[in-house]
Structure formats: structure tokens, C-alpha cells
Structure 1
Amino acid sequence: MALTPFQHLDIGTLAEWFSTEEAFTLVDIRDPGSFSNGRIPGSRHLDNDSVPALLESAPREQPLVVVCYHGHSSQQAAAWLSGQGFSEVYSLDGGFTEWQHRHPGRVER
């Protein structure tokens, strides 16, 4: 049985990381319009055009969290990013939709 190349991260743990000032990279793979309308603070938009910049600049040794709408598409992206040398990659369970529901005051616009 093969191991999953990424881990799942729940909303509560991500919120704790913000409160403890844990160093991590946060990428959002939703479409540009959705990202513009609201995102988790500190996240950067990731699409095919911005992947090279991420691969060049993001620290490989700190956690990388991938966010999508509901936590499904982010799993595929997390698996791929794990193969690019990031040591600790997470897919956010529930995605941005759950984050916004549980933390409406913590959405950047």
C-alpha cells in the first residue's frame, strides 16, 4: 500500500497556526475571480502561470498548504507539489468554503 504524498489539514489546525505564527506557505488554486472576492489571509493565488514563481521562491522546508473550494482539487495539487521537493505538503479539508463559514472575519478581500 502506497503512502499518500501529502497530509490533510483541518480548519482548526490552520487557525492555530495563524495564532502561533507558525511559518508556512499558503496557496489557493481556485479561479482568479473567486480568489479576488475572498481568500484566507496571506494566501497567494496558484495557477499554471504562477507555479514557476512558487517553485523558485517558496521555502521547501516549511509547510505548504493548498486550498481549493471544498478540499478535493487541492489533494491533486498537494500530491503534485509534494513531488516537487516540498517536505511537508497539506490539503486543507473543507477548503475555502469551510474556512469562510467557520471564520468569516478572517477572510481577506
Structure 2
Amino acid sequence: MRIKTIVIYLPIVFLILYFGYTQFENKSIKTISTTELAQKLEDESSSNTIFVDVREPHEFEAGHIKEMKNIPLSTLKTDYKSLSKDAEIVLFCRSGKRSLQAANILKDYGYSNVVSVNGGIQAWQGEVVK
């Protein structure tokens, strides 16, 4: 009877721990909406902000925001050095998941001012360049 209980509850405990950890890990990352992104893009005081689209090149070419620099998540671990640690780094992707992953990578490399955009290109209402 005890083995059945362990077999039933152990996977549930692991799932709770996993999802709790991922939520905790991402809580230290500041997030903004696409509306706030639009405001940042228009704000002239954002001169020390780097806007990075972490989608793959074919996704970026299919449609992107004009001011975005494309550094795919798949190459970020080698290409991150082109980003100033003194700048605010605003990360953008298709839905917001990869930008959170990118933010965590940059945090691991010592970047302290990283922001992830919730909803990504799917939620973007502004102009897109193709």
C-alpha cells in the first residue's frame, strides 16, 4: 500500500517542484507588455537601450520590428558579447518564452538590466518590417 502511495505522489511532488522552480527563476526577470515596448521604442531617453529579437533568422526575416537587432537564442551563448552590460537589454521573441530563456542566459553572464517582452510578435500591434 505504501509503495502505491509513493508511486502516485512522487511524480506530483516532482512536477510541483519543477514548476515552482521555473516560476521562481523567472520572477527575477522584469517583464513588460508590447504596449510598454512601443512606448520604449518611441521614448528618446531609451538611447541606452538595446532591443534584441531572439527568434531565428527566418522568423526575423518574415517580419520584425524595425529597431530590433536579431541575435537568435540558438547563438546567444556565443553572440552575447556584442551587447553592452551598461545598457538595458529588451528581449523579444514570438510569444515571450524564448525571451525569458534569453534573459536568464544573460543574467547568468552578468547582465543585470534585462527585460523580457510578454506576448512577443504574436501580441505586437505595431508596424512590422518584412
TM-score interval, normalised by the smaller of the two chains: 0.7 to 0.9
Q: Which residue of structure 1 lines up, in the alignment, with residue 16 of structure 2?
A: none
Could you tell me how far 1:51 is from its partner in structure 2? 4.5
What TM-score comes out, normalization by structure 2 length?
A: 0.69
Q: How far apart, CA to CA, are the structure 2 residues paired with 1:25 and 1:97?
A: 21
The answer as to 2:33 corresponding to 1:7 is no
Q: Which residue of structure 2 lines up, in the alignment, with residue 88 of structure 1?
A: 113
- Structure 1 alignment gaps of length 5 or more: none
Deviation >2 Å, runs of 4+: 1-5, 47-54
Note the aligned Cα RMSD (angstroms): 2.1
Could you tell me how far 1:50 is from its partner in structure 2? 5.5
Q: Which has the larger radius of gyration?
A: 2
**1 or 2 for the larger relative contact order (CA 8 Å, sep ≥6)?**
1
Q: 2:100 is matched by which residue type in structure 1?
A: Q
Q: Which residue of structure 2 lines up, in the alignment, with residue 65 of structure 1?
A: 90
Q: Share of identical aligned residues, percent?
A: 26
Q: How far apart, CA to CA, are the structure 1 residues paired with 2:93 and 2:122?
A: 8
Q: Matched residue of 2:31: which SS?
A: strand
- What is the number of equivalent residue pairs in this alignment? 104
What TM-score comes out, normalization by structure 1 length?
A: 0.80
- Structure 2 alignment gaps of length 5 or more: 1-20
The answer as to 2:78 corresponding to 1:52 is yes
Q: How far apart, CA to CA, are the structure 2 residues paired with 1:58 and 1:46?
A: 10
Could you tell me how far 1:29 is from its partner in structure 2? 1.7
Question: When you count helix as a share of all residues, which structure comes out higher?
Answer: 2
Q: How far apart, CA to CA, are the structure 1 residues paired with 2:28 and 2:66?
A: 26
The answer as to 2:29 corresponding to 1:20 is no
